[in-house]
Structure 1
Amino acid sequence: MLKVENLNAGYGNLNILRNLSFEVHQGEVVSILGTNGAGKTTTLRAISGLIPVKSGVIHFDNQILNKKSAEYIVKAGLVQVPEDRKLFSDMTVLENLEMGAYTRKARANLKKNLDYCYDLFPILKERTSQFAGTMSGGQQQMLAIGRALMAEPKLLILDEPSIGLSPLLTKQVFDIISEIKNNGVTILLVEQNVNQALQLANRGYVIENGEVVMSGTAQELLNDETLKASYLGITK
């Protein structure tokens, strides 16, 4: 579904990604792992058309996304939930969800998609009239994911969905992500919580300094001694 080949991207003259390659197959959850500054968010911004690609190719659903606008990419079915959520804080829960139904097809299915989001996140149905900026961090994360689902994504990209959340809320969010996967949505997950991410994922890639340094099935990565020592704090 998504294939990134030899991607080079960055900001101005600063190149962050260096010949980065990975792929996501339909129906999978794939995790991109790495420390702060490794290039994870830059990777997602390049895929979503938010920063220009210097070289390399981004294939998605039998088309090339290089030089396509962010608007075009959303309409193609690739939707991102950014790390900082980017909610409209002075708009209600319902208004934020309605903003997610950006495409003509999604607008036509507005009620069905709202019902789906309310089934996933009952708290959002309870608080349809509440302003997003007054909600807790966990509720805001649920709203951000719900807004993305309103666009009927073929591939849902999640950037650090557990950031700033308590362990209990993190578990709730990951349970919901698992349910979204079971409903047939392909997911690309960027997450610093390595253990949690790999418990959910089919496969994973570890990025350092803008390059893939390790990849494998989730179980292979969980069993890797170097990864356990570097990211999980587990040593023999």
Structure 2
Amino acid sequence: MLRVENLSAGYGNLQILRDLSFHVNQGEVVSILGTNGAGKTTTLRAISGLIPVTNGGIYFNDVLLNKKSTEFIVQSGLIQVPEDRKLFSDMTVRENLEMGAYTKSTRANFKKNLDYCYELFPILKERETQISGTMSGGQQQMLAIGRALMAEPKLLILDEPSIGLSPLLTKQVFDIISEIKKNGVTILLVEQNVNQALQVADRGYVIENGEIAIEGLADELLNDDNLKAAYLGIST
């Protein structure tokens, strides 16, 4: 579904990614792991067309996305929930969800998708008329994911969905990610919470200094103490 081949990208003269390659198969959850500054968010920005690619290729369902507009990428079904959520903070929960269903096809399925979001996130239905900027961090994260689901993603990209959340809310978010996977949505997950990320993933990649340092099945990575100590800074 998604192929990233020999990708190089960065900001101006600062190159962050160097010859990065990985893939995501349909129906998988794939986790990209790494410490702060490793290049995880830069990878997602390049995939979504937010920064230019200087070398290599990004293919989504065999379509080259290099130099495609962000609008084209989103309409192709590649939907990202950014690290800072980017909610419309002065709009209600319902209005934020409506903003996710902006294409002709998603507008046609609005009621079905809204019911699905409310089933996944009952708190959003309860707070339907609440201004989103007054919600807790966990509720805002649920709303950001719900808004993305309203766009009917073929590939859902989640950038640090647990950041700033309590352990209880983090568990709830990852339970929801597992539920979304069961409903057939392919997920690319960037996370610093290694254990939670690998528990929901099928496979994982570890980025170090803008390069893939290691890759493998999630279970293998989760149980590799040497890997976690060497590449993720986790003492064992």
Query: TM tier, shorter chain?
Result: over 0.9
Deviation at 1:105, TM superposition (A): 0.6
Does 2:138 match 1:138? yes
Structure 1, unpaired ranges of 5+: none
Are the equivalent residues in 1 in contact too, given 2:35–2:233 (CA < 8 A)? no
Deviation at 1:232, TM superposition (A): 6.7
Q: 1:199: which partner in 2?
A: 199
Matches within 5 A, 1:152-191: 152-191=152-191
Deviation at 1:224, TM superposition (A): 1.8
Does 2:25 match 1:8? no
Deviation at 1:234, TM superposition (A): 4.0
The one-letter amino acid paired with 2:130 is Q
Deviation at 1:157, TM superposition (A): 0.1
Matches within 5 A, 1:100-119: 100-119=100-119
The one-letter amino acid paired with 1:166 is S
Are the equivalent residues in 2 in contact too, given 1:2–1:58 (CA < 8 A)? yes
Tell me the distance in 2 between the aligned counterparts of 1:208 and 1:233. 14
Tell me the distance in 2 between the aligned counterparts of 1:71 and 1:120. 27
| Total equivalences in the alignment | 235
TM-score under structure 2 length normalisation: 0.98
Q: 1:233: which partner in 2?
A: 234
Are the equivalent residues in 2 in contact too, given 1:194–1:232 (CA < 8 A)? no
Tell me the distance in 1 between the aligned counterparts of 2:10 and 2:228. 29
Residues 130, 52 of structure 1: alpha-carbon distance in 2 compared, 3 angstrom cutoff = same
Structure 2, unpaired ranges of 5+: none
Deviation at 1:225, TM superposition (A): 2.8
The one-letter amino acid paired with 1:233 is I
Tell me the distance in 2 between the aligned counterparts of 1:129 and 1:233. 42
Tell me the distance in 2 between the aligned counterparts of 1:216 and 1:95. 40
TM-score under structure 1 length normalisation: 0.98
Deviation at 1:131, TM superposition (A): 0.4
**Secondary structure of 1:72's partner?**
helix
The one-letter amino acid paired with 2:38 is A
CA RMSD of superposed structures (Å): 0.9
The one-letter amino acid paired with 1:178 is S
User: Residue deviations 1:48-92, cap 9 Å, x none?
Assistant: 011111110101012111101111001000000000000000000
Deviation at 1:102, TM superposition (A): 1.9
Does 2:45 match 1:31? no
Tell me the distance in 2 between the aligned counterparts of 1:229 and 1:84. 28
Matches within 5 A, 1:124-135: 124-135=124-135
The one-letter amino acid paired with 1:71 is E
User: Residue deviations 1:174-230, cap 9 Å, x none?
Assistant: 000000000000000000000110011000000011000000000111122322324
Tell me the distance in 2 between the aligned counterparts of 1:10 and 1:105. 34
**Secondary structure of 2:23's partner?**
strand
Tell me the distance in 2 between the aligned counterparts of 1:227 and 1:107. 45
Tell me the distance in 1 between the aligned counterparts of 2:121 and 2:171. 14
